[in-house]
Chains A and B, each alone.
Chain A
Amino acid sequence: MTIEQLWDEPLNGWMKGEGPDSDIVLSSRIRLARNFDQIPFPNRASDEVLANVMAELRKSVADLSNQDNRSYLFIDMEKLEPLERNVLVEKHIISPSHVQEPVNRALIVRDDAAVAILINEEDHLRVQCLLPGLNLPETLALANEVDDILEARHSFAFHEQVGYVTACPTNVGTGLRASVMIHLPALVLTKQINRIIGAATQIGLTVRGLYGEGSEAVGNIFQISNQLTLGQNEQEIASNLQAVVKQVVGQERAAREALLRDSKDMLADRVWRAYGVLRYARSISGQEALALLSEVRLGIDLNLIDEAPPTIFNELLVISRPNFLQKVAGIAEIHPAERDVLRAQVIRGKLTEFKGGNKDA
């Protein structure tokens, strides 16, 4: 992988693979928070300390590459253009808070972006692993492997009673946040989603929008994650979430079947209208694009639309984000109205690439 591919290609390597239930679950993610012993956490560290942490962790790049025969890149956040940093956020490689202060912040990323290590975010390092579909146990295994490789060189802060210590006490213990990104159009359409969000909250899970803390659930995409990091071990946290999500997937499938059975014509009309707008619109906002893409994906999943492959959804999800759009077009500054025109144009171009059989034609 060259560094450019991170920005120029909409799909990261890991996204090209297939995973269990990947028609509904877009990705499984595991994040481990780790810190160095005695060294002030990033919120209290001087520039010098932060620079040392960066230099120290840079040494692990070679260890990682040697262990799993993949190439890893070390990226100094300060050396990136703001636009490039924002594209990494849009692609879920780094968190929104990692771009707020780029000085002395860094990223180690595997060639397929399945592994990303954020340096000097809220904690000294956060190991993030992403795999397609609903596959938390395997994602956890990968994160543990990376953690072990890092630990072979570095000594992480560990408290005998409370476990791995973190800047924020909500992450202490395992330092583990497991989450899945899940597409639930039928549960939204049948107005069952609030019930499910309520139930998930009661058993210690959090349900949020596409870009994490405080973001809206645009495009019917939700993130479900564990709230507590202490008390249960890593495998328990991952398998609990896996079991709950499995049930949500079942509910979504049942809702889809019910929709198809009871109101197929309405549904077909709805998803084809969404397709029509995307296919012919001359200006489209990011929000509208996401909402319509979600409907088109539902249409593809239910075999109502066969003019485009399901992967188009994941691809256009990234392509239609403002910073990616701008980066690929190679424009430094763009007016929002012009960006909407550009977005419509790119989406039209993508959809014309596929001219499969049309069931109704």
Chain B
Amino acid sequence: MLCDDCQKRPASVHITQITNNQKIDKHLCNQCAQAYGDIAFSLDSKFSVHDFLKNMFYSGAAENVPAKSGKACANCGMTYHDFSRTGKFGCSACYSTFGDHVEPLLRRIHGVSTHTGKLPRRTGATLELKQRIKKLRNDLERHIVQEKYEEAAKIRDEIRGLEKELLSPVSEEGNI
């Protein structure tokens, strides 16, 4: 869509202007939008991030979420409908209950769906091991496909070692 004002550049901003009860909708490019100054960039205090989320849900619901999914979180009783209404989950278990919906949702919000940051110390050691094993399994497959059996055998042994570690109780000092 081209900018309504200059008709040259692509429109990237949608402006709704209300003057004397007359509503004017315009699609403008960045440059022309600048000319609207305060009007274009004033912050609407009534619109929050939750409104965006709700809209994301409703648009998502049409495509890939069955409208009547009666599933409720066994832990807190929240249904997916509740969630799409409020934009907030009910408890940590909801993330597993609605797992199928969570992943595409997180991709839509964050662009990705995998955490790469801090791990809690309490469960972190186990998680770190699991992640390392997962990564090694991928490496292993790749090496087998490439017929690098010697290296694959090394990785397999490493995985076995880590799996053993995973089963043994975690000591405070870490791996001995």
Contact = CB atoms under 8 A, between A and B. Distances in A.
Given A40-B90, A122-B88, A159-B95, A151 B120 contact: yes
A173 B92 contact: no
A172 B92 CA distance: 11
Interface in B107-127: 109-123, 127
Given A159-B95, A159-B96, A162-B114, A169 B102 contact: yes
B19 to A, nearest CB: 21
Given A159-B96, A173-B117, A214-B48, A231 B53 contact: no
A157 B95 CA distance: 11
A172 B34 CA distance: 34
Interface string A154-185: 01111111111111111011101000000000
Interface in B11-55: 30, 34, 37, 41-50, 53
A209 interface: yes
Given A40-B91, A151-B122, A162-B115, A172 B43 contact: no
A207 to B, nearest CB: 10
B110 A229 contact: yes
A247 interface: no
B110 A165 contact: no
B111 A228 contact: yes
Nearest to B115: A163
Contacts of B136: none
B27 to A, nearest CB: 17
B7 interface: no
Contacts of B34: 194-195
A168 B115 contact: no
Contacts, number: 141
Nearest to A172: B106
A169 B86 contact: no
A34 to B, nearest CB: 9
Nearest to B118: A234
Nearest to B130: A160
A28 interface: no
Contacts of A169: 53, 87, 89, 102, 105-106, 109
**Max chain A Cβ within 10 angstroms of own Cβ: one of B77, B93, B105, B120:** B120
A39 B75 CA distance: 8
Interface residues of B, number: 48
Contact of A38 (B46, B93, B111): B93
Contacts of A159: 92, 95-96, 115
B1 interface: no
A231 B111 contact: yes
A89 interface: no
A327 to B, nearest CB: 25
Contacts of B155: none
A37 interface: yes
A231 B118 contact: no
B76 A44 contact: yes
A44 B78 contact: yes
A251 interface: no
Q: State the majority secondary structure of interface residues on B.
A: loop
B88 A168 contact: yes
Given A38-B75, A151-B121, A156-B120, A168 B50 contact: yes
A148 interface: yes
A337 to B, nearest CB: 24
A197 interface: yes
A164 B123 CA distance: 12
Contacts of A198: 30
**Max chain B Cβ within 10 angstroms of own Cβ: one of A39, A208, A213, A230:** A230
B117 A234 contact: yes
Nearest to A233: B117
**Max chain B Cβ within 10 angstroms of own Cβ: one of A144, A148, A169, A214:** A169
Contacts of B43: 208-209, 214-216
Contacts of B87: 168-169
Interface string B46-69: 111110010000000000000000
Interface of B: 30, 34, 37, 41-50, 53, 75-78, 86-93, 95-96, 102, 105-106, 109-123, 127, 130
Interface of A: 35-41, 43-44, 122, 144, 147-148, 151-152, 155-170, 172-174, 176, 194-195, 197-198, 208-209, 213-216, 228-234
Those 3 A-B pairs whose CB atoms lie nearest each other, nearest first: A163-B115, A157-B92, A214-B45
16 contacts: A37-B92, A44-B76, A44-B91, A148-B121, A155-B120, A156-B120, A159-B92, A159-B95, A165-B95, A172-B95, A194-B34, A194-B41, A198-B30, A214-B48, A229-B110, A232-B117
Given A162-B95, A172-B115, 18 more contacts: A38-B91, A122-B88, A151-B122, A156-B120, A158-B123, A160-B127, A161-B114, A163-B115, A163-B118, A164-B115, A165-B89, A168-B49, A209-B43, A215-B45, A228-B109, A230-B110, A230-B113, A233-B118
